[in-house]
Amino acid sequence: MSRLRTPLLGLLASVLLSACTLVPTDPSPRSVNSADVPSGLLNGGGAKKSATVAFWYFDAEGRLVKRWERISTPVTIAALLTHLTQRVPSGLTTALPTKIALTRAVVRGDEVTLFISAGFRGVDPETEMAAMRQMVATLRDTFGISTLNVNDVERGRTLFVDAPAP
C-alpha cells in the first residue's frame, strides 16, 4: 500500500499547489506574435507630424493671452512646458522657469499631476502662481483638464490650481 501512497500524495499536492495559483502567472512579459496583431496598429506612418496647440502667455499688462502654434506630435505635457519656456512669442512673457524639469505627468480624468524635480527653487510665490495659471490654461485647452497639481519633488510640497473658465 505504501507504493500507492507516494503517487497519491503527489497528485493531491499538485491539486493543492494548483489551487494556490488558480490563474497561472508569467515570470516575465510575453511577446504576442506580430502576425496576430491587427494590421496597421504597429505601423509608424499615417499620423500627423504636427498639431496646432493653444499656448498661454502673459502680455505686458500681466494678462494671460492665447497664441495658436504648431508643434510636432505627439503632444506631450513635457513638450508643452518646453514650448512655454523656450518659444515665447515677441511681446509676451512666460512665468515658467527656464530650467523646469518634468519627471512625470499623470493625467487622470480632468486632473493632472506634474512631478517637477527642479526649476522652482528661488522662484517667488507670485511668479510661481503665475506659472501655475499659465500651465493650467495651456493644459486645459490641450488635454481638457480643470485642475493642476504640481508636486515639487525638490522642495517636497504640492501646489494646485483650478483652471479658469475658457
Partner 1 sequence: MATRSLRGRLTWTFAVGAAVLSTVFASLTYFGVRHIIVVSRQASDLQQAYVNAALVRSAVAQDSASLPSLLTSLDAATTSSSLVQLGSTWIEGTSVADPTSIPAAFRVAGTEVVRQVVIEHNVPVLIIAVPLPAVRATYFQRRELADLNGTLNRLLGVLALGTLFTSGLGAYAGRRTTRRAIAPLADTAQAARQVAEGDLTVRLPANAPHSEVATLSAAFNEMVEQLVLRLERDARFASDVSHELRSPLTTLAMSAEVLRLHEAELHPDAREALALLTTDVATFQSLVEDLLDIAKADAGTDTMVEEVLPIGELVTQCVISATRRHQLPATALDSQLDGEHYVSVDRRRFERVITNLLENAYRYGDDRVVVTLALGDGGVQLTVDDNGPGIAPAERERVFERFYRGAGASRRGDARGTGLGLALVAEHVSRFAGRVEVAESPLGGCRMIVWLPAVEGERE
Residues that bind partner 1 (CB under 8 A): 1-2, 4, 7-8, 11-12, 14-15, 18-19, 21-26, 28-32, 34, 36-38, 41-48, 51, 73-79, 102-110, 141-145
* C-beta closer to partner 1: residue 102 or 130: 102
* C-beta closer to partner 1: residue 59 or 164: 164
Can you tell me the distance from the alpha carbon of 18 to that of 48, in angstroms, rounded to the nearest whole number? 50
Minimum distance from residue 122 beta carbon to partner 1 (Å): 24
Q: Is residue 139 a contact partner of residue 77, using CB atoms and an 8 Å limit?
A: yes
- Count of CB atoms within 10 A of residue 141's CB? 18
- By DSSP bridging, strand 101-108 and strand 157-162 are unpaired
Q: Is residue 71 a contact partner of residue 83, using CB atoms and an 8 Å limit?
A: yes
Q: Is residue 139 a contact partner of residue 145, using CB atoms and an 8 Å limit?
A: yes
DSSP three-state, residue 36? helix
* C-beta closer to partner 1: residue 96 or 145: 145
Write the single-letter amino acid at 78: A
* C-beta closer to partner 1: residue 78 or 123: 78
* C-beta closer to partner 1: residue 93 or 117: 117
Minimum distance from residue 124 beta carbon to partner 1 (Å): 27
Q: How far apart are the first and last CA of the chain?
A: 83
Minimum distance from residue 148 beta carbon to partner 1 (Å): 13
Can you tell me the distance from the alpha carbon of 148 to that of 107, in angstroms, rounded to the nearest whole number? 9
Minimum distance from residue 126 beta carbon to partner 1 (Å): 28
Minimum distance from residue 142 beta carbon to partner 1 (Å): 6
